[in-house]
Structure 1
Amino acid sequence: MPRVLLVAVIFSLICNIACAQDGRIFLSKDSGNIWKRMDQGFPQEAVVNDLAYTKGVVIAGTQAHGVFVSRDELNTWQASNQGLPKNIKVDALEIFENKILLGSFKHGLFISEDNGRSWRATHKGLTDSTVRCIHTFETRIIAGTNNGIYVSTDKGKTWRNIFQRRQINGITSMNGRIYAAGADGIFLSLEQGENWRIIYHKASVHNISSNGMYVFAMSYEGTGKILKTNDDGATWLRSDAGLPAKYTFQVEKIGQRLLACQWDGVYKSDNNANTWTKSSEGLSPGKPFKELLITPFGVITARP
């Protein structure tokens, strides 16, 4: 075997072993203090873009490997792509009543009514085929796209554009209000998404969440910031003390605790994000973690 080819083969084997050792999906049963690897049957090269949970089923949407599901609390994973385009890039997953909604890159929206076993397209009225985020609000399903926000009031059958000409990266709600994070700031709606006004415009915001007390914005500003507000954006407080000087992927609430995904692991805060400490025991050391999901049997985190 030629030396160059031999070196390439050895390098590939080393990379595959390293990836296998690193793991992709982890579970914590103590609110994020200690983590355990749980990705048997999940491709180690598959990048996880979003997670969802419904009726004992965990759904993982990936960058180029479609959808995988676990029906036994992460002990095993199986591909579940019936009805989906081959190698679809899944950007968003959300649960609405007994349905699973899936948003994709350039393939639009899909819906599953059998707990992720099969999928069908649900594009009527959707004029942008890249769906970055999905959020449920009361009886409405709200989707963020490269061309603004779409809403469905008939359980995903048809869609209507209610906020145009802007990229929407994340949506959350709190106290009857809807907040949308976009490439040109953060927007607020008091009317179920029918009307919007800007409440933050200093930088692009790639994600947004809430804990019932504050709305948390994950900004690209500078080296990345977490900001919080409890007055609809009249004031924003810096809320990333203790985190690396890089943007945060996601913030989720479990009980009174907040967890944050960062470039070197997972962090926790027990004081409404005033300060953060690393909480990555059991995770692949020094690796980024991008997704968080709260389930009845624990917290799930996944690597990009």
Structure 2
Amino acid sequence: MTMLLSFIWITLSFCPEVLLEPAKGIVYFSTDNGQTWENTSAGLPDNIFLSDIAVAPGLLGLTTKQHGIFLFNFAKSEWSTLATIPTTDEIDALCFHQSKILVGTKNNGLFISSDGGKTWASFNRGLKNLTIRKLTYLEQKVYAGTNGGLYVLQESTNQWIPEHEENGLQVNGMRALDGDLYAGTNRGLFKKSKGGQDWKQIMPGRSLHNLGVDRKNIYALTYSELFISDDKGASWKSDQAGMPPKYTFQVIEKDNTLLAGQWDGVYIKHGLLGWALSNQGLPKDFPVLELVVSGNTIVAGSSQWSR
């Protein structure tokens, strides 16, 4: 035993990376604006396929394509599973709204729970397309992005009303900036100006899988490059400097710090110097599919990592 302990000590002394390599997880928290990260995956099964993360005051949840829905217990610092929704279809979207939980599926539309996820009911009234790609709460309304356009929840009638219907229009991301609404789609970027009624295509010819905003800019996340607009979508320029030539999953802002989820981790923007990797505490080459702000914490999520 003494010889074994001596061998381990010598090995670690000459190979410090053995100590420095963090345990691989699925979800990581940062409480210092992305400078360092802590594995916060307790309660999650190994090798899940993460599909969405949603936040609300006092709530943090995530969906997986085949392993169900999980809520984070802040007191215990661990995840717990919710009751299974009544479908075997893949789960792709999550949203919290007025003590209700909404989830969207690949082919069977939406389900809603009013009792904290104990029971679920179908919630598709008004929807003409049941492939739900994104659920977002913006400007005091809930929006559903589908494969047939964008819908908004009309709460007085408890049904979905078409905002911008178009056959084959995949709505992948939605954001608001200064009262204007933006929808990122497979057919470019659409904008609805504050007080307006119509959606105008402002970035044709590009397929967008997501959008991001900060206090004054909007970010178009295409499948080949990250673009930024400082004039509400009138003009665009590349914002890829400092990141690898791969598409960006997420762009968020917290406390004037801009962060991006990329294929090899989290990047922080440093003004004119561009983006720089900020992966202390994250596994090497950790693809950050989801990146959200929950209170004072930034949450980064990936998929299929065994702890």
TM range (shorter): 0.7 to 0.9
Worse overlay, 176-185 or 230-239: 230-239
- How many Å apart are 1:119 and its aligned residue? 2.9
In the superposition, the TM-score normalised over structure 1's length comes to 0.86
Question: In the alignment, what sits opposite 1:248?
Answer: 248
After superposition, residues 40-119 of structure 1 pair within 5 angstroms as: 40-72=42-74, 75-86=77-88, 88-119=89-120
- How many Å apart are 1:154 and its aligned residue? 0.8
Distance 1:212 1:74, change over 3 A: farther
**1:231 aligned partner, one-letter code:** D
Question: In the alignment, what sits opposite 2:293?
Answer: 294
Question: Could you list the per-position Cα deviations for residues 25-65 of structure 1 after superposition, in whole angstroms to 9, with x for gaps in the alignment?
Answer: 11111111111111111011111111112343321111211
Conservation of the 8 A alpha-carbon contact between 1:31 and 1:299: yes
Distance 1:42 1:124, change over 3 A: same
Q: How many residues align?
A: 280
Query: Structure 1 stretches (4+) deviating beyond 6 angstroms?
Result: none
Question: In the alignment, what sits opposite 1:257?
Answer: 257
Question: In the alignment, what sits opposite 1:9?
Answer: none
User: Match for 1:211 among 204, 210, 214?
Assistant: 214
- How many Å apart are 1:66 and its aligned residue? 1.4
Conservation of the 8 A alpha-carbon contact between 1:268 and 1:278: yes
Question: In the alignment, what sits opposite 2:179?
Answer: 176
Question: In the alignment, what sits opposite 1:285?
Answer: 284
Residue 77 of structure 1: SS of its match in structure 2?
A: strand
Residue 137 of structure 2: SS of its match in structure 1?
A: strand
Residue 28 of structure 2: SS of its match in structure 1?
A: strand
- How many Å apart are 1:79 and its aligned residue? 1.3
Distance 1:93 1:73, change over 3 A: farther
Conservation of the 8 A alpha-carbon contact between 1:25 and 1:303: yes
- How many Å apart are 1:239 and its aligned residue? 1.0
In the superposition, the TM-score normalised over structure 2's length comes to 0.85
How far apart are the structure 1 equivalents of 2:197 and 2:76? 39
How far apart are the structure 2 equivalents of 1:29 and 1:231? 31
- How many Å apart are 1:254 and its aligned residue? 0.7
Name the larger-Rg structure.
Answer: 2
More RCO (CA 8 Å, sep 6+): 2
How far apart are the structure 1 equivalents of 2:76 and 2:275? 28
- How many Å apart are 1:158 and its aligned residue? 0.2
Conservation of the 8 A alpha-carbon contact between 2:85 and 2:120: yes
- How many Å apart are 1:159 and its aligned residue? 0.7
Q: 5+ residue gaps in structure 1? A: 1-19
Conservation of the 8 A alpha-carbon contact between 2:34 and 2:298: yes
Distance 1:52 1:257, change over 3 A: same
How far apart are the structure 1 equivalents of 2:208 and 2:273? 20
Sequence identity (%):
31
Aligned-residue RMSD, C-alpha: 2.1
How far apart are the structure 1 equivalents of 2:34 and 2:156? 34
- How many Å apart are 1:270 and its aligned residue? 4.0
- How many Å apart are 1:225 and its aligned residue? 1.1
How far apart are the structure 2 equivalents of 1:28 and 1:160? 38
Distance 1:156 1:128, change over 3 A: farther
**1:199 aligned partner, one-letter code:** I
Conservation of the 8 A alpha-carbon contact between 2:217 and 2:232: no
Question: Could you list the per-position Cα deviations for residues 64-91 of structure 1 after superposition, in whole angstroms to 9, with x for gaps in the alignment?
Answer: 11101112267221210344424x4222
User: Match for 2:188 among 185, 191, 196?
Assistant: 185
- How many Å apart are 1:117 and its aligned residue? 3.9
